[in-house]
Amino acid sequence: MVGPGLILAMLYSIQPGSDGLICHFPSTSPDQKAIHVRIEDTPSLNDRPDHIRVDMALNDKVVMRAAARPITDTEENDMLVLGKNDIRDVYTLGFREDGKAAFSIRLAKDNGALSEGITRIGECYGVAPYLKKWLSI
């Protein structure tokens, strides 16, 4: 079993911007797994300040299209990334300039509604280059 210290050391060794924005959300109980989220910039001619195209990968297995945009309700430099998969599950990542982050998963029900979902608190690494680029669009 890999300890949280080793995971953080590995994440800090990643060059910012080289493999995307990396976020880690530890498990909150023994029966849960940690969640790792990677955001990769996928520039588009259709990018605008409220919709910047990105790819979101969960635990390097599930990859989906997503959109990033600044959170305008705060005075901090922070971003919201919203992704949806083919079955309409909704994945939301919010992160601040200091790397503090929250990740929410809401699964689609058979009737089309979304589940109440779960939220995890964690950290994102390599935030500065993305904020600088995305906030300048």
Residue 3 is predicted with a pLDDT of 52
CA 47 to mean position of chain CA atoms: 18
Task: Give 91-123 pLDDT, tens digit per residue.
Answer: 999 999 999 999 999 988 877 778 888 999 999
CA distances from 21 to 55, 87, 110 (A): 10, 25, 33
Residue 40 is predicted with a pLDDT of 93
pLDDT band at 43 (very low <50, low <70, confident <90, very high): confident
- pLDDT mean over 13-34: 78
Task: Give 122-134 pLDDT, tens digit per residue.
Answer: 999 999 999 998 8
Task: Give 53-74 pLDDT, tens digit per residue.
Answer: 999 999 988 899 999 999 989 8
Percent of the chain with pLDDT over 70: 87
Mean pLDDT value across the chain: 85
Q: Which of 83, 76, 89, 73 is nearest to 53 (CA)?
A: 83
pLDDT band at 37 (very low <50, low <70, confident <90, very high): very high
Could you tell me if 103 and 120 are in contact, meaning their C-beta atoms sit under 8 angstroms apart?
Answer: yes
The pTM is what?
Answer: 0.81
